[in-house]
A and B are shown apart, each in its own frame.
Chain A
Amino acid sequence: MPFGNLASRLQETFKKLSGRGKLSEKDVTAALREVRLALLEADVNYKVVKTFTDKVKERAVGHEVLSSLSPAQQVIKIVNEELTELMGGTLSKITLASKPPTVIMMVGLQGAGKTTTSGKLALLFKKQGHRPLLVAADIYRPAAIKQLEVLGEQVGIPVFSMGDTHSPVDIANAAISHANSHGNDIVILDTAGRLHIDEDLMEELVQIKEKTKPHEILLVVDAMTGQDAVNVAEAFNEQLGIDGVVLTKLDGDARGGAALSIKTVTNTPIKFAGISEKLDGLEPFHPDRMARRILGMGDILSLIEKAEASMDEKKAKELAEKIKRAEFTLEDFKDQLQQIKNMGPLDQLIGMLPGMGQLKNLKGGLAVDDSHLKSIEAIINSMTVEERQNPSIIGGSRRRRIAQGSGTRVQDVNRLLKQFEQMRQMMKQVSGMGKGKKKGRNMLPFFR
């Protein structure tokens, strides 16, 4: 989960704070020391950390907190607000040109993920009904052009390339004429990775910029970047004037402090986040949600979006009907699990739930991995159709058979059946009351 450790750190800190009625300046200072440490360990630039903690302290140690009824929550609120602001306020989008094609230029250090991000971005636009063109302007790295061509093929988007013998400036120019004559309304220039202090190569980018007049210059930054992120962003911004940042590799355990720093230093918003190796793994960056997530306040909005994207609406309706009539079977349960699995790795989902961030850090903790779901599925798969419809017929010998067939133990089968029965009881009550509030909770026993 992105920023995972920072979230648990701040939670830890504020748990200490929450135990008190009112906060003294000393308490706030102590808490902020923890915040400072957590932010530094998250690779937030040390200057940014200083400004940040000073600002929070200024606001927290005032009247605002001391006279407040729940001081701890007040502090969390302040940190949250400041953090959100630090990361760029609200969501920024790509500005499209009034007269197509919109030219987007991808720049960054070597290995930040420009080529992959170009492919992902193109796919994102394609899904929105645009006709993007990918341009292979990295003539230096061996096989970079080939990489973009392969990506283009995978996402079904044309790739413009002229080999590695023409200058990137010429390639970019030719690509735009090509886009004009072929009806591509978005041109994505994949430039070579370069060091921000390499004068010749930076000059090359400036020339591409002058010749092609890009509408967006996106700086691609690896979420694992340390203190240097600020220097890199500053240098690219000074020489090129960047319009936005794409933060990549956020699916690892990097705390992504770079994201927090870049906006402050360059005043450039983070527009997208790379959250998976898969080609659809590029999402608009939501600073407000990310801040809430850092503070362990949960990221319910993302969860709902994910659910909507992966749940089958028709099936969901059928299911609701069944629950109403108390006909929910193990078969339906399996379908539900399937849909949950479609939403992505479980630990990511859990991280989005309020308060669940902490659970991950319990010793020997919450084993939320997908293998648990798999064994439940295996158990259900090892049942006959009749057994799934009517679990009450599953006696001792059937249980042994099911356990054997699914590679689990009889206890596991017992537990599943017991929990399923409880769930069914609960659903009866819920549908009886006409209130679905507790439904979600009952899923959780299965994840231990």
Chain B
Amino acid sequence: MGWRNIFRRRKDDEIKNTTDTLSTETVSTENTETKNNFFQRLKSGLSKTRQGLFGKVESLLTGRTIDEELFEELEDLLIQADVGFETTMYLIDELRERAKRDKLKEGIQLKETLEQVIVSIFSENAAPLAIGDNSPAVIMVVGVNGAGKTTTIGKLGYRLKQEQAKVLFAAGDTFRAAAIEQLETWATRIGVDIIAHKEGSDPAAVAFDAVAAAKARKADVLLLDTAGRLQTKKNLMAELGKVYRVVSKELGREPDEVLLVIDATTGQNALSQARLFNEVVPLTGIVLTKLDGTAKGGIILALSHELKIPVKLVGVGEQNEDLQDFDPESFATALFSD
């Protein structure tokens, strides 16, 4: 079953591909071509982040000597990237300490140090999508309104389908107008089955039917959509908790993944989102969407540092293929490479 390994394999590919992206255009092997497009897209998506934050980091550090003023300016840059005050302070303190320890003088030497600190934050709790061991693997997708849950499911479904997995969608957003149709459109587009009830029906019932159907049809992966909800709405969060319990009961174990989808433009509220969602449904990972804009997505640093929830996937564009694994090392390397 090839698809089960994709999430492990991808990491090696990514490192390989990010190191030789410059020559990708000329590589013509059938197999690598699709992959290269894949990473071309990752690069172009990430390049905006790079220019936004780390391009500036480089021009800030170049030709400067390390002093307090430089740290303060660096602090501003990190804040500006939505890294958040607490995590920024942590990063700056780490930098200050390491600069002292290693007797760094040149500003540009801080760049590599910053890169190391960032990678270590991500590496601490990195984990691939855990969908290789159980069948059907159940992935529940949660988040606030407009974060990109349904689109993420569409893209993830497409990707799993490409890898020959038997995918089933469940239209668990029974609240928002036409949310079911939106997922149905995706299902038709990429050719997967979907379990849907009528608008306004009980999402827990949809979840129950979907799990039963996934078992009966021997699906490999069940992707369960849920309605967007603000994390402060007690009733809606309780409803989400119920869906989780119903899935767990019918499945006989907890869902393999509960992914919180966060829009890259989100600021510090993402911390509250992750905290409060995690109280109701134990989150296993984060999907960062819309990273193809100018938003720096720095909030994932704060999420990783303060809440220790691994970032698993990133959305970097509007195409079916534009959902990537989040790999801390290749992500950080891509961020800093030119």
Our pick among B148, B184, B269, B299 for the contact of A110 (Cβ within 8 Å) is: B148
A55 interface residue, CB < 8 Å from B? no
B147 interface residue, CB < 8 Å from A? yes
Given A197-B294, A226-B299, does the pair A112, B146 have CB atoms closer than 8 Å?
yes
B36 interface residue, CB < 8 Å from A? no
Please name 7 further chain A to chain B contacts, defined as beta carbons within 8 Å, in addition to the given A195-B294, A249-B145, A258-B267, sorted by A numbering. Answer: A150-B178, A196-B294, A225-B266, A229-B267, A252-B231, A253-B231, A253-B272
Among B76, B184, B265, B296: residue with most chain A CB under 10 A? B265
Which residues from chain B contact A151 at a C-beta distance below 8 Å? 177
How does the 8 Å CB contact mask read for A183-214 relative to B, with 1 for contact and 0 for none?
00000000000011100000000000000000
Among A229, A252, A257: residue with most chain B CB under 10 A? A252
A56 to B81, CA, bound (A): 25
How does the 8 Å CB contact mask read for B12-45 relative to A, with 1 for contact and 0 for none?
0000000000000000000000000000000000
Our pick among A147, A197, A249 for the contact of B178 (Cβ within 8 Å) is: A147
Q: Do residues A142 and B79 form an inter-chain contact, with CB atoms below 8 A?
A: no
How does the 8 Å CB contact mask read for B55-99 relative to A, with 1 for contact and 0 for none?
000000000000000000000100111101100000000000000
A81 to B232, CA, bound (A): 30
Q: Do residues B269 and A253 form an inter-chain contact, with CB atoms below 8 A?
A: yes
Q: Do residues B265 and A225 form an inter-chain contact, with CB atoms below 8 A?
A: yes
B182-230 interface (Cβ within 8 A of A):
182, 184-186, 189, 199, 230
Our pick among A112, A142, A196 for the contact of B186 (Cβ within 8 Å) is: A142
How does the 8 Å CB contact mask read for B256-290 relative to A, with 1 for contact and 0 for none?
00000001011111101100000000000000001
Our pick among B48, B80, B148, B177 for the contact of A150 (Cβ within 8 Å) is: B177
Stretch of A24-32, A41-49, A324-332 that contacts chain B: A41-49
Which residues from chain B contact A154 at a C-beta distance below 8 Å? 177
A147 to B268, CA, bound (A): 30
Which residues from chain B contact A46 at a C-beta distance below 8 Å? 76, 79-80
Q: Total number of A-B contacts with CB less than 8 angstroms?
A: 138
- How many chain A residues touch B (CB < 8 A): the figure is 46
Given A228-B265, A231-B294, does the pair A146, B144 have CB atoms closer than 8 Å?
no
User: For residue B294, which residue of chain A has the nearest CB?
Assistant: A231
A111 to B228, CA, bound (A): 11
A227 to B267, CA, bound (A): 7
Which residues from chain A contact B270 at a C-beta distance below 8 Å? 224
Q: Do residues A224 and B266 form an inter-chain contact, with CB atoms below 8 A?
A: yes
18 contacts between A and B (CB under 8 A): A43-B82, A46-B76, A109-B290, A112-B146, A142-B189, A147-B178, A195-B290, A196-B294, A225-B265, A225-B266, A226-B82, A226-B265, A251-B230, A251-B232, A251-B233, A253-B232, A254-B269, A277-B145
Chain B, interface SS category: loop
User: For residue A5, which residue of chain B has the nearest CB?
Assistant: B272
Which residues from chain B contact A224 at a C-beta distance below 8 Å? 144, 263, 266-267, 269-270, 273
A229 to B181, CA, bound (A): 30
A104 interface residue, CB < 8 Å from B? no
Q: Do residues A225 and B231 form an inter-chain contact, with CB atoms below 8 A?
A: no
Our pick among A41, A197, A222 for the contact of B265 (Cβ within 8 Å) is: A222
B322 interface residue, CB < 8 Å from A? no
B293 interface residue, CB < 8 Å from A? yes
A113 interface residue, CB < 8 Å from B? yes
B335 interface residue, CB < 8 Å from A? no
B234 interface residue, CB < 8 Å from A? yes
A227 to B297, CA, bound (A): 10
Q: How far is the CB of A115 from chain B (nearest CB, A)?
A: 8
Q: How far is the CB of B315 from chain A (nearest CB, A)?
A: 10
Q: How far is the CB of A67 from chain B (nearest CB, A)?
A: 33
A40 interface residue, CB < 8 Å from B? yes
Our pick among A41, A142, A251 for the contact of B268 (Cβ within 8 Å) is: A41
Q: Do residues A146 and B295 form an inter-chain contact, with CB atoms below 8 A?
A: no
B6 interface residue, CB < 8 Å from A? no
Which residues from chain B contact A146 at a C-beta distance below 8 Å? 177-178, 181-182
A253 to B148, CA, bound (A): 19
Which residues from chain A contact B145 at a C-beta distance below 8 Å? 111, 113, 249, 277
Q: How far is the CB of A227 from chain B (nearest CB, A)?
A: 5
A309 interface residue, CB < 8 Å from B? no
Q: Do residues A147 and B182 form an inter-chain contact, with CB atoms below 8 A?
A: yes
A441 interface residue, CB < 8 Å from B? no
User: For residue B182, which residue of chain A has the nearest CB?
Assistant: A143
Q: Do residues B293 and A109 form an inter-chain contact, with CB atoms below 8 A?
A: yes
B130 interface residue, CB < 8 Å from A? no
B176 interface residue, CB < 8 Å from A? yes
User: For residue A147, which residue of chain B has the nearest CB?
Assistant: B178
B151-165 interface (Cβ within 8 A of A):
154
